[in-house]
Structure 1
Amino acid sequence: MITKKPKSIPSTKAPLTIPDNDDFSDISIIGRELSLLERAKVDYTKELPPPEAALKVRDEIFGTLGNFSLVIGKAKSRKTFLMALIMAACLGFAKKTKLFGNMHMMQGCLPPGKKRVVFVDTEQGEYHVAKVAKRVTRLTDPVGNSKLENFDVYGARTFATNERVQIIEDIIATTPDLGLLVIDGVRDIITSINDEEQATFMANKLLKWTEENQIHIITVLHQNKGDFNARGHIGTELINKAETTVSVTPQKGEDVSKVEIEYCRNKEFDPFAFRITDDGLPEVDDGWMPKSKEPKGKQSPVDIGELTHAKILQQIKTKIGDKPKHSDVLSLIKLTVTDQLQPIGNTIARDYFTYYMGENAIIKHGKDRSPKAYYTIHPEAFNA
């Protein structure tokens, strides 16, 4: 039997052409994982969009997706009430609420697909955690009794430290529409606030969780009883890595707590204050104005709060050159204190210099009177 050979059908596709200068750099090699170096390399020639805002205050960015922020304050300073305000803003305030007048001071900006807000409380029992959640529902829903579609709440007080971390990781891994995660308080997901290794580990966890999942995390941490520093090594590490750090401080002689930026990578918003109404809800005080920073007379360095000292030194550190001399540091102290506090002359600038030397915030390298002697600046001396 003779079989006929099938006729070949001419191809209608254009022949494949490869440019002479094609290095195939845009084609991944099948079966090979990228190295650490390849994964870390940034193509700075690409047009990268800025990170999306998660929350704004007075039209200035409080936090963005892909970053975390830190709220610090002493015990009973109403930090958790501020968290309720923030979560309500991101979920959407009730249309009938008159809490903010015409200012619209706090604006949730979570984009589509990232509308879910999750609250994790590591300190309080179930009753008080539910009480916080009900504040949020009353701020976002006129009735205040219904379960919010995009709001989940977890209490982690009864779990071990490693289990709390696992709960947070599970929340992030199983919540694809997560936009904002509030962890009140971050101190309870490590075993020691003064362990440098744990502090670094947790800061890196927060950076990893936010970057890889494009969410914003707000963490809450107590300040020390005797000063205004965030507690322990964990406080220092989180301040260094956070996009925004704000403090919550009750105001003497007033029934309000002030919210003020301590450190920020974006343009700072002006301080504002809130009070607790007779209904037990946080309410922004539209008419509140911060007292003037201008002190009466010249303040010595011992009269200044440690957070302010840290900010002064951080600004000096960013402007100082390599191996600065005594005159260089003194000049920048004078300029920076004048900028942040009050006009000072050389005499008070020298007082600041001596004070910082005594606190190991400015360290001299080299022998006295040596032309090779220089100084280094250490703002972290006031965050330890």
Structure 2
Amino acid sequence: MSLKEEILSKTNRGLEVFCFYMPIDFVLKRNFRNPLYDDKRASCNIYYDKKGDCYRMKDFGNELYSGDCFWFVAAMLGLDIRMDFQKVLTAIIRDLNLNIPVLDKGSRYCDLYLRNRASIPHKKPEQEHPAENKKWFNLYEQPFKPDEIAYWQQYGITAKTLQRFAVKSLLRYESVSNQGKVYTLSSTEKEPVFCYMMGDFVKIYRPFSKMRFLYGGEKDEHYIFGLEQLPSKGDILFITGGEKDVLSLSAHHFNAICFNSETASIPENIIESLQLRFRHIILLYDTDETGLRETRRQAEALARYNILTLTLPLQGIKSEKDISDFFALGRTENDLKSLISEMLSGIYTQTIMMLRSCEIDYDNPPDASKSVVAVNGVPLGTQDNLFCITGGEGTGKSNYISAILSGTLGKEQIPSEQALGLEIIANPKGLAVLHYDTEQSEAQLHKNLGRTLRRASLTAVPDFYHSLYLASLSRKDRLKLIRESMDLFHHKHGGIHLVVIDGIADLIRSANDETESIAIVDELYRLAGIYNTCIICVLHFVPNGIKLRGHIGSELQRKAAGILSIEKDDYPECSVVKVIKVRDGSPLDVPMMLFGWDKEADMHVYRGEKSKEDKEKRKTGELIAVVKETFRNTSKLSYQDLCNMLMREMGIKDRTAKKYIAYMKEQRILLQDASGNYQKGELCHT
């Protein structure tokens, strides 16, 4: 038997050779990107060639990068398969520890191999170079057995979680000890062997063995398990003591990472990076002596970053000391959420005291005070986004807000007519509904709260609904209270359904201050994303056509998913609701809705939509105003420049801008000359 054939017979016809030298995980017959060059498309796979009786790699994008396992090893080591074939065979025999005599013992392939080995996982240096002190290892994977799955499931860890975090079940593990002795670990029913795959190295986990943890390969100096699986942003991130705790938390829908051990130092640059993505970072170590000691030490070392600590209500013994044990003992996801809520309540003691002084007590109305006309808005938008309500005084915005808030207090969706023409998503889970007011008096806010309850057919305020009076607080304290109370109520009620901030301009010193305007809108947008809610910002400005005034108006026009304006109609007894911005499509194509006071019902009621003629009239008028503004400092614009101008001025997308240009040509709002440039049309001169 030839040396080549002997290698194939001992490596499952070359498959184990591919597995050893391939720098990425692959699945047979499933396409992946070729690691030998900057492959842009996954058009390469490994398959069994019946004719050649061996496994081969096929690159459908570049035939030059196809071949058997010997060709692939030569390519990875930078060798010539024809000139250096003996060196390739020697490398495979030594690296895979095959029991085959090495003929070319004087080969200097090792120097080439070490220069090209950086991208190869599961690496094993030659035993002639012990000074390198780099542990080689071989893994022999197997499917998870039923009793192994049962072991993980006691902690709530599913097969899907194991797959997501690249946890493997091993049939056998081979490596070398620190003394240079080769050893083998075999999985048994009583002592299973698991493996955490970490790129260039692995961590072996044997839960029922005397030596539970072993390492193979090049362990990263800053080992962080679970970092790759974290979302881009979130509310809470736990730092735990071990990989099993990370898996258990993830299986229960929490974000978590761990370092090499509880005693490992946590790099400050990692904390700084994570703080940009998560609202809270919480140390959740074991409740034994070591865990408690390290919790205190880490908290002191990271004091400047306000890292939180949470101690589980466990005895601290071997079977009851970590978060995995917490879930194994029958505790649930909601039990952990309750502990988090209690912890935050202790942190926000001062905030809770402020909330008590600000929250409206419906059963104990405040003393009558001088009436102040309030300008309110209504929520309309999507989760993770801002929605802006704007308009002048006396347009019925308070009652409009009352109608929308009433739709969030029940478990079923109310009819759109009852919500003054809007469709409001119900709140069956009883998530928090927060209404912050910066201008109205306590008496007026109490009156509005009563109207909201009556419209919702309720006699008492639901515990998840909080109407808060902020007019007496400083601007700095208002934003602080909003930020911290959102966090508190989010954990208390299991989430936030809707937030209304009536008077966003009252959170800063000036609505025309560009720096402050950008900062407040960015902060609210961030909070909407963290708490997965819609924040409605009420801006007490009358819009100028389809544009909002002031720097804060410009920022909202850019960031908000939608903008709605409430104005008095031509008929004084009605108010008209106009959409200034929508996420998709054009605001001018959305019907205008009417509502007005009904004396018999003692509240505002829906009056239907404006006619099609009125809608077209508004559309034409708004477009004429935009064109006049666009051509104020120029007489002609190219088609692309005009598109860009409309997109910027109206906050619309490219396809909508092109649609408007065609419409304005048809209506003689725009004219196009022989060279293709555009200028103001006849209607703009009337």
Short-chain TM bin = 0.5 to 0.7
Distance (whole Å) between structure 1 residues aligned to residue 456 and residue 665 of structure 2 = 39
1:292 corresponds to which of 607, 614, 621: 614
Q: Secondary structure at the match of 1:218?
A: strand
Matched, 1:319 2:319: no
| Closer/same/farther in 2, CA of residues 148 and 277 from structure 1, 3 Å limit | farther
Letter in 2 for 1:107: I
Q: Determine the C-alpha separation between the residues in 2 that align with 1:316 and 1:350.
A: 21
Question: Where does residue 223 of structure 1 map in the other structure?
Answer: 541
Distance (Å, rounded) in 2 between the aligned partners of 1:75 and 1:341: 37
**Structure 2 SS opposite 1:108:** coil
Contact 1:74 1:224 in 2 (8 A): yes
Instruction: Specify the alignment match of 1:206 in structure 2.
Output: 524
Asked whether 1:162 is paired with 2:476, we answer yes
**Partner Cα separation in structure 2 for residue 131 and residue 342 of structure 1:** 51
Deviation string for 1:228-258 (max 9, x for gaps)?
Answer: 6433101110111111111112111252222
Does the CA contact (< 8 Å) of 1:183 and 1:218 recur in 2?
A: yes
Question: Secondary structure of 1:72's match?
Answer: strand
CA offset digits 1:281-315 (Å, max 9, x no partner): 2222246545434449x879765699999993436
The question of whether the paired residues in 2 share the 8 Å contact of 1:301 and 1:351 is answered with no
Distance 1:102 1:226 in 2: 27
Aligned to 1:64, the other structure's residue is in SS state: coil
Counterpart in the other structure of 1:85: 403
CA distance in 2, matches of 1:341, 1:280: 47
Check whether the contact 1:66–1:210 (CA below 8 A) recurs between aligned residues.
Answer: yes
Q: How does 1:39-78 map to 2 (within 5 A)?
A: 62-78=380-396
1:263 aligns with 2:581: yes
Deviation at 1:179, TM superposition (A): 1.5
Deviations 1:135-164 (A, max 9, x none): 1101101xx543333321111112111111
Amino acid at match of 2:476: N
1:343 counterpart residue number:
667
- The aligned residue for residue 140 of structure 1 is 456
How does the TM-score come out when normalised to structure 2? 0.39
AA paired with 1:343?
Q
Amino acid at match of 2:646: I
Say which is worse superposed, 146-155 or 184-193, in terms of deviation: 146-155
Answer yes or no: is the 8 Å Cα contact 1:93–1:139 preserved in 2: no
Aligned-pair CA distance for 1:223: 2.3
Structure having the higher Rg: 2
State how far apart, in whole Å, the 1-side matches of 2:422 and 2:441 are: 31
Q: Give 1:270 shift.
A: 3.4
Distance 1:72 1:17, change over 3 A: closer
Structure 2: segments with no counterpart, 5+ residues: 1-187, 203-223, 228-257, 260-265, 278-378, 632-643
Q: Secondary structure at the match of 2:558?
A: helix
- From 595, 605, 626, the equivalent of 1:283 is 605
Q: Which residue of the partner structure matches residue 370 of structure 1? A: none
Question: Secondary structure of 1:107's match?
Answer: coil
Q: Distance in 1 between matches of 2:630 and 2:565?
A: 12
Question: Is the CA contact 1:94–1:139 (under 8 Å) kept in the aligned structure 2?
Answer: no
Aligned to 1:130: 446
Please, which of 273, 277, 280 is the counterpart of residue 594 of structure 2?
273
Q: Check the 8 A contact 1:137/1:148 in 2, yes or no.
A: no
CA 1:93–1:133 in 2, change beyond 3 Å: closer, same or farther?
farther
The answer to whether the Cα contact below 8 Å between 1:71 and 1:245 also exists between their aligned partners in 2 is yes
Whichever residue aligns with residue 465 of structure 2, its letter is F
Change (3 A) 1:92 1:338: farther
Q: Secondary structure at the match of 1:198?
A: helix
Aligned-partner Cα distance in 1 for 2:198–2:406: 58
Matched-pair contact (CA < 8 Å) for 2:420–2:595: no
Query: Unaligned stretches of 5+ in structure 1?
Result: 1-9, 41-60, 321-331, 356-384
CA contact (8 A) 1:90 1:109 kept: yes
Aligned pair in 2 of structure 1 residues 194, 101: CA closer, same or farther (>3 Å)?
Answer: closer
**Quick one: distance in 2 between partners of 1:18 and 1:94?**
47
Shift of 1:280: 4.0
- Bigger drift between 248-257 and 98-107 goes to 98-107
Q: How far 1:80 sits from its partner (Å)?
A: 2.1
Query: Partner residue of 1:372?
Result: none
C-alpha separation in 1, matches of 2:189 and 2:415: 71
TM-score after normalising by structure 1: 0.66
Question: What is the percent sequence identity of the aligned residues?
Answer: 19
Q: Which residue of 2 aligns with 1:379?
A: none
Partner of 1:51: none
Cα distance in 1 for residues equivalent to 2:411 and 2:603: 13
* Aligned position for 1:7: none
Q: Bigger CA drift: 169-178 or 197-206? A: 169-178
The answer (yes or no) to whether the contact 2:434–2:499 under 8 Å persists in 1 is yes
3-state SS, counterpart of residue 270 of structure 1: coil
Among 226, 231, 234, the residue aligned to 1:27: 226
Deviation at 1:105, TM superposition (A): 4.4
Q: Are the structure 2 counterparts of residues 307 and 126 from structure 1 closer, same or farther at C-alpha, using a change threshold of 3 Å?
A: farther
Deviations 1:314-334 (A, max 9, x none): 3698539xxxxxxxxxxx988
2: CA distance between counterparts of 1:341 and 1:170? 52
- For the 8 Å contact 1:295–1:342, the answer to whether it is kept is no
The SS at the match of 2:424 is strand
Give, in whole Å, the separation in 2 of the partners of 1:249 and 1:167. Answer: 31
Q: Distance in 2 between matches of 1:288 and 1:110?
A: 30
* Aligned-CA RMSD value: 4.2
Letter in 1 for 2:671: N
| Higher deviation after alignment, 271-280 or 98-107 | 98-107
Q: Equivalents in 2 of 1:182, 1:286: separation in Å? A: 25
CA contact (8 A) 1:316 1:333 kept: no
Aligned pairs (5 A) from 1:235-274 = 235-266=553-584, 270-274=591-595
Partners of 2:403 and 2:420 within 8 A in 1: no
Q: Which amino acid aligns with 1:165?
A: L
Distance across 1 between alignment mates of 2:566 and 2:622: 25
* Other-structure match for 1:118: 434
Q: CA deviation at 1:90?
A: 1.6
Residue 71 of structure 2 corresponds to which residue in structure 1? none
